[in-house]
Structure 1
Amino acid sequence: MGEQYDSDLHLHSQYSGGTSPRMVIREIARGAAKKGLDLVGTGDILHPKWRRHVRRELVEDEYGLLKEPKTGVLFVPTVEVEDERRVHHLIILPSLDHAEELHGELSRYSDDIDAEGRPHLRMTGAELADLLKDHDCLFGPAHAFVPWTSVFKEYDSLRECYGSAMDRVDFVELGLSADSDYADRISELHEYTFLTCSDAHSPYPHRLGREFVRFELEEPSYDVLKAAIRRKPGGRVVLNVGLIPELGKYNRTACARCKRQFELEEAERLNWRCPECGGTIKKGVRDRVLELADLEKPKHPNHRPPYLRIIPLAEIIAKALGLSTITAKKVRAVWNSLVRRFGSEIDVLIETPIEEIAEVDERVAELLKSFREGTVNIRPGGGGEYGKIITEEESEREEPRSRKPVQRTLDELIGRG
């Protein structure tokens, strides 16, 4: 048996559009340590300035991964790229030298590879997959179901996207608005490892690691990580951890401007134009999965690990305290008290007994208990707006609403105890 590593393999640097200027290695490592992450992706590793920054800030550890010296957080080179059909793909690389080589090859197909952390490529997904055959990397579609820039926004199957290079696809990243139950209603996906990642644009714990993968690795090396994702001896995925899909900002079909939500048939009848504000209605992940599903219920293959649904701790604290913002001083104070006492946000969310959390704050403990038992109500997200936890009183007044499905405890999910 190897050691377990909580890992977030998809995030971005300050060189990607819409990201925080604090997305530098030191801040990412600090945020990862507070969250409880052991391994994170560098993001944006094809960008020359970011690659130089990574070389300065990280050192190679004894197993060949990169390490931030002060925190001990491990990094692996990663990048998200956009193809000519606006489909996003995630690439995981063994080293900075490999990233340098790949930059040289892909620069022939990109006008912004030296300016944008998430470069645009004049290639199809199939052409990209074919080019990567000669590189020792891991590759798969990023946030596969989102309605703007994903494989299932543009295609009805992976094969339509990757064609004869299908054997080059190592994983499917689910995205924040989907989970294993959603994806495993599509039998084509049963053969793939699912990755759950944050796609973080800031280093704060409510963004970084909001979705992560728990790997069991014989050693923390790229080769063993690759073995785990490809389901070969040496490593394995033991847990996917992510948001309740309804909390994702693209879960329901909704107007991208005013966020009004629609049933799929209504959106089609309106020709995808909002009658309230004239904005574009975007098809939600839930409805897209229903279109693609060839199974009435999810059928999980034997290799599929459990999926544990979580939510950022700051959101739980803010709701428990009756505050409207997760950055309020009172929220930070309770968050700091819990993390200092119990080790990390992940520890608080899924490992620490509720009675011990109650010693710090009974209100937070009560809400977290409801969350773990599956008795919280959710106002689903859509149109680019995240879903929200709502009280029983709010749920009676507001539509649409969704009750989080009951999930087993972590011990029950992984057969511990």
Structure 2
Amino acid sequence: MKVNADLHLHSKYSMACSGKMELPTIASEASRKGMELIGTGDCTHPKWLEEIKKAAISDEEIRIGNIFFIPTTEVEDIDRVHHLLILPSISKAEELAERIAPFGNLEADGRPSVKLDGCEIAEIAKDLGALIGPCHAFTPWTALYGYHDSLESCYGDMTEYVSFVELGLSADSNYADRIEELHRLTFLTNSDAHSPSTNKLAREFTQFNVPDITFEGIKKAILRKQGYGATLNVGFFPEEGKYNRSACVKCFTQYPLPEAEARRWRCPICRGIIKKGVADRVNELADFEKPEHPDHRPPYLHLIPLAEIIQMSLGHASVQTKGVKTAWETIVGHFGNEVEALIYAEPEALKIVDDRIVNAILAFRKGDVIIHPGGGGQYGWLELPGHLKAEKPGPAEKGAEEKKKASKITKREIGKSRTQISFSDLARKSSVETVETEEEKTAGVGTEWPEKERPEKPAGQRSLFDF
């Protein structure tokens, strides 16, 4: 069976998170987005864990309505690298909390910061039967490649136990598959949502083929056992990230890497620091000039939330305007959820709303969008081609016009490349479900990894994006 999953988000107990990030609200909004499985996030926080228990049917099953939850948490290590842990049960989440409590204050934040390195955290994950991988691996802050040049540098002798990498908003499969050490790993796309808003929750997600919606089912998919696995990654254009290009952190002027190096990472215009971009960092790490995708790699679909497409097409100032909300409710109410409308709905069926919205959705399906890359801390943004722009641009578009002075325009098509596919190539989930065999029901899963001594590693490393 095919399921859409967002396995990394946060609760109301994490810093800078909405008070609305409660399980019933998350479940309700996730259903309307088209998800079936959601990570709880923050499962080591004492108060959040109690709320998780209240929603649980059993130690291994957490469900509200038609949404299944699985215990997950993001942990920051001593080097500031963030790791995503996916746990088998509530009792294992409790054990994890007990194991890491001596090394950090679990009540201070839903996203605990502990005085353990990546190897030590991976050892604990293995002991608990949990899955582990780096979160948003390519961002300049709190990420694997922000502080390390390789998986082994972070995870040491536990490197082989790492089973996935979360790409984050700053990268896609084309970026990551230029790095050979990542080829064996499953790529996850998750929202890292701090709010249940329609443009935050499940803004990125992974579609899996699983035998059932359980930890063991997801484990089979992530480890690619018995024919199961990830079947689709859905996420942003990497250029939308605010550190995609190398750029000045004050005036946001963007620089090619050779020029930034020649200027010793100082902007000649305002003397601000030039921050290395994710695209240039990937070039440093890359083993291949162009991405080389392993056979198991699923397509990557570049997409933004429906609310943002509506906002863009109407020229409204935000996704919170009455016009945007009304159109979103109309579309989701008609098709059942956002994914169904954005990916699978026939063009004629979409004509229940303003033609400008329909044309914008179809433009995204064709890749007919203009991308303004971000850099230096300024987010990139997307723009519809001239013939699809709103006649009277709102404040958001006026602001975009001003930003153009600080960055160049690039255009990239979604097209039919190996990882950027046409929407018409996507079969409906319901038509491609896998029949589970008796052998698959009973076969064992999991991989035993050799125990080795862990090498010593210095703490508090400086980000490799800084100079």
TM-score when normalising by structure 1: 0.93
- The answer for the alignment partner of 2:31 in structure 1 is 33
- The answer for the alignment partner of 1:410 in structure 2 is 423
Q: Tell me the CA shift for residue 353 of structure 1.
A: 1.5
Distance 1:258 1:18 in 2: 26
Residue 4 (structure 2) pairs with residue 12 (structure 1) = no
Q: SS of the counterpart of 2:341?
A: helix
Distance 2:147 2:27 in 1: 35
Q: Tell me the CA shift for residue 237 of structure 1.
A: 1.1
Q: Tell me the CA shift for residue 155 of structure 1.
A: 0.9
Residue 98 (structure 2) pairs with residue 104 (structure 1) = yes
- The answer for the alignment partner of 2:296 in structure 1 is 303
Q: Tell me if structure 1 keeps the 8 A contact 2:29–2:198.
A: yes
**Identical aligned residues as a percent:** 47
Quick one: which amino acid aligns to residue 365 of structure 2? R
1:173-216 per-residue CA deviation (whole Å, 9 max, x = no partner) reads 00111111110011111010000001111011211111101011
Q: Tell me the CA shift for residue 363 of structure 1.
A: 0.3
Distance 2:61 2:227 in 1: 16
Quick one: which amino acid aligns to residue 402 of structure 1? T
Question: How is 1:14-93 mapped onto 2 (pairs within 5 angstroms)?
Answer: 14-56=12-54, 58-60=55-57, 64-68=60-64, 71-93=65-87
- The answer for the alignment partner of 1:343 in structure 2 is 336
Distance 1:233 1:342 in 2: 33
Q: SS of the counterpart of 1:23?
A: coil
Distance 2:159 2:153 in 1: 9
Q: SS of the counterpart of 2:85?
A: strand
Cα RMSD over matched residues?
2.2
Distance 1:317 1:121 in 2: 41
Q: Tell me the CA shift for residue 232 of structure 1.
A: 0.7
Q: Which of 180, 188, 196 matches 2:189?
A: 196
Which one is further off, 391-400 or 127-136?
391-400
Distance 1:141 1:214 in 2: 19
In the superposition, relative to structure 1, how do residues 258 and 10 fare at CA in structure 2: closer, same or farther (>3 Å)?
farther
Q: SS of the counterpart of 2:283?
A: helix
Q: Tell me the CA shift for residue 409 of structure 1.
A: 2.1
Q: Tell me if structure 1 keeps the 8 A contact 2:251–2:272.
A: yes
- The answer for the alignment partner of 1:386 in structure 2 is 379
Larger radius of gyration: 2
Q: Tell me the CA shift for residue 162 of structure 1.
A: 1.1
Quick one: which amino acid aligns to residue 43 of structure 2? I
Distance 1:381 1:414 in 2: 33
Which one is further off, 254-263 or 147-156?
254-263
Which one is further off, 346-355 or 382-391?
382-391
Q: Tell me if structure 2 keeps the 8 A contact 1:350–1:410.
A: yes
Q: SS of the counterpart of 2:183?
A: helix
Distance 1:26 1:414 in 2: 30
Q: Tell me if structure 1 keeps the 8 A contact 2:309–2:357.
A: yes
Q: SS of the counterpart of 2:339?
A: helix
Quick one: which amino acid aligns to residue 62 of structure 2? L
Question: How is 1:216-365 mapped onto 2 (pairs within 5 angstroms)?
Answer: 216-233=209-226, 235-274=228-267, 279-365=272-358
Q: Tell me if structure 1 keeps the 8 A contact 2:36–2:67.
A: yes
Q: Tell me if structure 2 keeps the 8 A contact 1:172–1:194.
A: yes
In the superposition, relative to structure 1, how do residues 48 and 272 fare at CA in structure 2: closer, same or farther (>3 Å)?
farther
1:273-319 per-residue CA deviation (whole Å, 9 max, x = no partner) reads 45556654332211111111110111110111111111111111111
Distance 1:258 1:200 in 2: 28
In the superposition, relative to structure 1, how do residues 206 and 287 fare at CA in structure 2: closer, same or farther (>3 Å)?
same
Q: SS of the counterpart of 1:120?
A: coil
Q: SS of the counterpart of 1:80?
A: strand
Which one is further off, 239-248 or 38-47?
239-248
Distance 1:168 1:337 in 2: 46
Distance 2:26 2:242 in 1: 23
Q: Tell me the CA shift for residue 52 of structure 1.
A: 0.8
Q: Tell me the CA shift for residue 323 of structure 1.
A: 1.4
Distance 1:29 1:208 in 2: 10
In the superposition, relative to structure 1, how do residues 172 and 396 fare at CA in structure 2: closer, same or farther (>3 Å)?
closer
Q: SS of the counterpart of 1:191?
A: coil
In the superposition, relative to structure 1, how do residues 396 and 7 fare at CA in structure 2: closer, same or farther (>3 Å)?
closer
Quick one: which amino acid aligns to residue 66 of structure 2? G
Question: How is 1:147-226 mapped onto 2 (pairs within 5 angstroms)?
Answer: 147-226=140-219
Distance 2:227 2:38 in 1: 19
Q: SS of the counterpart of 2:152?
A: helix
1:97-137 per-residue CA deviation (whole Å, 9 max, x = no partner) reads 10111111111211x22211111111111222123221110
Q: Tell me if structure 1 keeps the 8 A contact 2:183–2:293.
A: yes
In the superposition, relative to structure 1, how do residues 21 and 268 fare at CA in structure 2: closer, same or farther (>3 Å)?
farther
Distance 1:22 1:266 in 2: 45
Distance 1:234 1:173 in 2: 21
Q: Which runs of 5+ in 1 are unaligned?
A: none
Which one is further off, 256-265 or 72-81?
256-265
Q: Tell me the CA shift for residue 357 of structure 1.
A: 1.4
Distance 1:343 1:354 in 2: 16
Which one is further off, 405-414 or 246-255?
405-414
1:131-158 per-residue CA deviation (whole Å, 9 max, x = no partner) reads 3221110100000000011110111111
